[in-house]
Every structure is written in structure tokens, then in C-alpha cells.
């Protein structure tokens, strides 16, 4: 049976009084309640049919996803935060706090602690200063190809640090588990993972900010990244093929951060009055952006495109980006016409029913 928040909150009071779990009294009560609310939400999302990818929550090992949320009782003065049962803590104020503070979340990444301050404020809907539209094709060798011909090389953060990470993990395997040297090496690996994440995040934020500032509409492929990066091992009855090659491809896909780039573009365009449009990626890499002819033979190689019908030559990724833009614009026009057609009936098609005198 699943215990929901009401039952868990009742048991929490009993656990605090027990000898075995009496240490829970050292933690602010509202922080524990927030954790129970998170668990309750995870259970409800699991049984929500509109979210088929959600799974039952599982126990996480120590050091994974550590974070606590304070809904009230905190204070902020200059560069200090007061947290209940912890006291005043100094912090680096990376930006000015705007709006009414709703809660503060404290998280740990590697050997650093971060305070995320959630605020509520009224934001006026803006009109984007530009009218430019652009299509983007995501790739591995080339992170992003724009329909205007711009090619952006990926930062490949994990691949750049992969050898160093493997070497440090071998050192960890040779140490006695739980010893002080083991803990030091564990922290060193955590810092390296944090560096890999920060390098990728910095690259994605800079590119998404520049793109959202210069273009009002951005068209991207509606890629199912979870399916693309699924394991190729298969099952015992049906073992996978080319598992090593598929594993390398999955690693390269996840190293790019396509989903995070798309997420950042979405909210940054929304803030500026722009729009992110996802289109069906089918045949965008095989269709000629000049004449529209679609054929596998149009792709001479991974990077070269030459139409067998009209002879048009272009970088394969740039050609795909142009097709993505065209498909997106076409879908938007069709949708606008469809909505407009439903709002107004054509003249002469409506039958008028007159009342019959009794």
C-alpha cells in the first residue's frame, strides 16, 4: 500500500518521538514536510496517465540529489541568509533578487552548496524586437546548424574530460571503500563531474541567449531524445546488435545536451515575446531545400548534400535546417488558416431557420 502525504505526516510526528528516529527533531519540521510533499507528488505523477514516462520513485543512495527546501522562516540580509535551526550563512549573491520570495532551496553539488531563491513577480508580455525566423538542425559532429548557414561546433564537455575521469575512477577502485582516502578521491571525482556539467551549461546558456535575442521564431526538430539514447543491449531472448557502437552514440547524444538547449530556448524566447516551434523531423535530412525533391541518394555523405533532381549543393546540416524552417512556417500558416476558418463561416453556407407562426 502507498502512504500519501496525510498518513506520512501523521507518522512523521510519531517517528520524531521514537528512539530510533529521534534525530529527525534536529531538522526543521517544514523541511521534512516538504520532502513528504515531494514524495506524494512523485507517487501521483506515477499514476497520472498523461505522464506515461513517469515511474515509481525509488530510494536514492547517499550523495545523490541532496537538497532541502525552506518554505518560510528564512531571512535575507545583504549577502547572508538565515535558515531555521542552522543560523546565518554567508553566500555569493550572483544577481539582485526581484519579486516576492516564496521559498529557498539548498542543494549540494560536489563540494559546494547552492541557494536557489524562488520569487513571484508580475512580468509584462513583451513584443520581440526582431522579426527574424530561423531553423536549427541538431547534430553530434556539429552541435547546431542554422538555416542562415551558421555552424556551431559542440563543446563535447564529457569527451574532453573522459580520459581524466576514467583515470580518477581507477584510482578510486584501488582504495579501501569508506576510508578517508576513498572519500577524498570520491570528492575529487564529484568536482570533475561538476566541472563537466558547468562547461556544458555555460555553452548552452550563451548560445540559447544569443539565439533568443536575435530571432523571434525558432524552429527545431521534435526529437524523442529518450528513445534515441535508449540502450542497445536488448534482452536475453533478443540481444542487441552493435552494442558498443550504440553505446558510443548514446554517450555522444547525451553529451550534447539537446534537450537542455531546447528547454532554455523555450523559456528565453517566451520571456522576450518570441516562440519556439517543434516540427516533425521526418525526411528533413533527405529533402532538397531548393526544389523539394526527397531521396536517400541526395546525401552524398554525413556532411554533404547534393540533390539528384536539380543539382543543388549544400552542407547537409544546413540543408536540413532550411527544411525545418520551411516545414515550421508551413505548419504555422496552415494552423492559422484552420483557426480562422473555424471562427467565421463562408458566406452563403449557413441556413437560416425562420420561426413558424402557430
pLDDT tens column, 2-60: 889 999 999 999 999 999 999 999 999 999 999 999 999 999 999 888 888 788 888 88
pLDDT higher than threshold 80 for residue 165: yes
Question: Do 99 and 120 touch, CB atoms closer than 8 A?
Answer: yes
Q: Is 104 helix (H, G, I), strand (E, B) or coil?
A: strand
Cite the active site residues. Answer: 137, 221, 317
Residue 90: which pLDDT band, with cuts at 50, 70 and 90? Answer: very high
- Whether the Cβ atoms of residue 291 and residue 234 lie closer than 8 Å to each other: no
Burial class (CB in 10 A: 0-12, 13-18, 19+), 139: buried
pTM across the whole model: 0.81
Give first-to-last CA distance, the chain, whole Å.
Answer: 67
Measured in whole angstroms, the distance separating CA 339 from the mean position of its chain's CA atoms is 31
Beta strands in 84-155, from DSSP E residues, in sequence order: 87-90, 100-109, 112-120, 133-138, 144-146, 151-152
Specify the pLDDT at position 345: 45
Across the chain, the runs of DSSP E, i.e. the strands, are 67-70, 75-77, 80-83, 87-90, 100-109, 112-120, 133-138, 144-146, 151-152, 217-221, 275-279, 304-306, 313-315
- What is the pLDDT at residue 233? 62
- Closest C-alpha to 219, from 185, 171, 181, 262: 262
Take residue 94 and report the three cell numbers written for it: 550572483
Which pLDDT score is estimated for 60?
Answer: 83
Q: How much is the pLDDT for 51?
A: 84
Q: pLDDT category, 231, cuts 50, 70, 90?
A: low
Does pLDDT of 341 surpass 60?
no
Query: In Å, how far are 215, 220, 279, 332, 341 from 283, measured between CA atoms?
Result: 25, 14, 11, 19, 29
Half-sphere exposure of 295 (CA within 13 A, CB side): 12
Q: Specify the pLDDT at position 242.
A: 61
pLDDT of 349 higher than 50? no
Residue 244's pLDDT band (cuts 50, 70, 90): low
- The Cα 76–Cα 117 span in angstroms is 10
Q: How far apart are CA 201 and CA 204, in angstroms?
A: 5
3-class state of residue 126 by DSSP: coil
C-alpha to C-alpha distances, 216 to 12, 132, 280, nearest whole angstrom: 50, 6, 20
User: Left if phi > 0, otherwise alpha if psi is -120 to 50, otherwise beta: which for 335?
Assistant: alpha
**Reduced DSSP (H G I as helix, E B as strand, rest coil) percent helix, strand, coil of the chain, to 5:** 40, 20, 40
What pLDDT was estimated at residue 124? Answer: 82
Give the model's pLDDT for residue 69.
95
Binned at pLDDT 50, 70 and 90, residue 227 comes out as low
Cα–Cα distance for residue pair 272/274, rounded to 1 Å: 6
Per residue in 246-297, pLDDT tens?
677 788 888 888 889 999 999 999 999 999 999 988 889 899 999 989 998 8
Amino acid at each position: 500500500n502507498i502512504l500519501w502525504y496525510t498518513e506520512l505526516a501523521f507518522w512523521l510526528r510519531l517517528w520524531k518521538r521514537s528512539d530510533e528516529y529521534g534525530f529527525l527533531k534536529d531538522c526543521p519540521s517544514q523541511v521534512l514536510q516538504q520532502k513528504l510533499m515531494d514524495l506524494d507528488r512523485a507517487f501521483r505523477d506515477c499514476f497520472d496517465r498523461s505522464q506515461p514516462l513517469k515511474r515509481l520513485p525509488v530510494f536514492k543512495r547517499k550523495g545523490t540529489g541532496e537538497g532541502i527546501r525552506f518554505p518560510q522562516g528564512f531571512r535575507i540580509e545583504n549577502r547572508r541568509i538565515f535558515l531555521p535551526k542552522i543560523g546565518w550563512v554567508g553566500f555569493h549573491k550572483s544577481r539582485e533578487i526581484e519579486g516576492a520570495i516564496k521559498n529557498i532551496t539548498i542543494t549540494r553539488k560536489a563540494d559546494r552548496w547552492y541557494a536557489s531563491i524562488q520569487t513571484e513577480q508580475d512580468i509584462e508580455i513583451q513584443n520581440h524586437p526582431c522579426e527574424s525566423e530561423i531553423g536549427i538542425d541538431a547534430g553530434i559532429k556539429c552541435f547546431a546548424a542554422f538555416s542562415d548557414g551558421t555552424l556551431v561546433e559542440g563543446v563535447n564537455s564529457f569527451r574532453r574530460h573522459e580520459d581524466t575521469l576514467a583515470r580518477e575512477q581507477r584510482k578510486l577502485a584501488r582504495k579501501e571503500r569508506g576510508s578517508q582516502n576513498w572519500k577524498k578521491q570520491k570528492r575529487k571525482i564529484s568536482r570533475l563531474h561538476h566541472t563537466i556539467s558547468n562547461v556544458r551549461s555555460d555553452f548552452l546558456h550563451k548560445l540559447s541567449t544569443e539565439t533568443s535575442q536575435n530571432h523571434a521564431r525558432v524552429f527545431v526538430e521534435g526529437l524523442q531524445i529518450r528513445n534515441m539514447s535508449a540502450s542497445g543491449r536488448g534482452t536475453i531472448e533478443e540481444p542487441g546488435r552493435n552494442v558498443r557502437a550504440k553505446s558510443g552514440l548514446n554517450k555522444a547524444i547525451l553529451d550534447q545536451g539537446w534537450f537542455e538547449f531546447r528547454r532554455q530556448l523555450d523559456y528565453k524566447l517566451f520571456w522576450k515575446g518570441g516562440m519556439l516551434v517543434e516540427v516533425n523531423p521526418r525526411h528533413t535530412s533527405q529533402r532538397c531545400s531548393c526544389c523539394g525533391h526527397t531521396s536517400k541518394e541526395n546525401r552524398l555523405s554525413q556532411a554533404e548534400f547534393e540533390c539528384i533532381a536539380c543539382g543543388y549543393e549544400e552542407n547537409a546540416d544546413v540543408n536540413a535546417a532550411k527544411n525545418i524552417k520551411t516545414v515550421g512556417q508551413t505548419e504555422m500558416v496552415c494552423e492559422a488558416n484552420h483557426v480562422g476558418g473555424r471562427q467565421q463561416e463562408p458566406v452563403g453556407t449557413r441556413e437560416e431557420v425562420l420561426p413558424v407562426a402557430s
